[in-house]
Amino acid sequence: MVSNRGKKLKIICSPVILFTIAVMLLGGASNSPVQADELLRAQAIGILYHFNPDFEAFPRSGAAPLAVRFENWTNGGERPYVKAEWDFNGDGVIDITLTGTDAEVVADVTWTYPLPGVYSVYLTMTDGIPAPLGPLVHTETKLGYITVLFEPWAYDANDNGLIEKEEVVKAIVDYFDGLITKTQVMEVLQLYFS
């Protein structure tokens, strides 16, 4: 008897059923305007679904070009997750979108940063709550998360241990394109003259 009751309670406590009950209760309470309904819906979802997108990067700093692997540590919400959208350089443009199975959505991704700088990273996750209740879409923001350092030897394009004229020219062009600083182009020039 006791274990049966426990089982029933467990079924009743599943997020989808709890959410449905909450919407019925909240929706039946009044004939409130649409905006208030939306607010109640958002509150009910917030209470019933803890959805927390998260990630970690390895490594978080190093010389350009820097290849970084990102692990998706999202938890909560309703699985399977349906979409992961990564913006690795904080410019508002999604660089990689993952869809498919839950495993494919949360798969590791790798991004190479060609240029020095400090980059913010955004991960937007879409979970699997069916319409009209869902899906939930949440974004995890890590400001200034990746630091890509300047390495003058990166201009040794043919990897022969010498900075040659055409390689210096590349650095100077990058400087005039605003990709590297004056100090950085001077570092490349020093290697050329040394």
Give the x-and-dash track for 21-60 against Ca ion (CB under 5 A).
Answer: ----------------------------------------
Taking CB under 5 A as the binding criterion, the range among 2-10, 43-51, 158-166, 168-176 that sits at the site for Ca ion is: 158-166
Is residue 93 at the binding interface for Ca ion, with CB under 5 A as the rule?
yes
d(C-alpha 108, C-alpha 53), whole Å:
14
Which of 3, 31, 160, 183: binder of Ca ion (CB under 5 A)? 160
Is residue 4 at the binding interface for Ca ion, with CB under 5 A as the rule?
no
Q: What b/e sequence results for 118-127 when a residue is b if at least 16 CB atoms lie within 10 Å of its CB, and e otherwise?
A: ebebbbbbbb
What is the total count of residues that contact Ca ion (CB under 5 A)? 10
Is residue 165 at the binding interface for Ca ion, with CB under 5 A as the rule?
no
Residue 160 parent element (H or E): none
Taking CB under 5 A as the binding criterion, the range among 17-25, 47-55, 62-70, 164-172 that sits at the site for Ca ion is: 164-172
* Nearer Cβ to Ca ion (5/165): 165
- Least gap, CB of 90 to Ca ion (angstroms): 7
* Nearer Cβ to Ca ion (87/127): 87
Give the angle subtended at the CA of 17 by the CAs of 14 and 20, to the nearest 5°: 145
Q: With H, G, I as helix, E, B as strand and everything else as coil, classify residue 128.
A: coil
CB atoms within 10 A of CB 131: 6
* Nearer Cβ to Ca ion (23/66): 66
- Least gap, CB of 175 to Ca ion (angstroms): 18
CB proximity list for 109: less than 8 A, separation 6 or greater: 69, 70, 72, 86, 96, 98
Which of 184, 172, 190 has its CA nearest to residue 64?
184
Residue 139 has which token pair? 């974004």
Which residue ranges make up the site for Ca ion (CB under 5 A)?
A: 87, 89, 91, 93, 95, 156, 158, 160, 162, 164
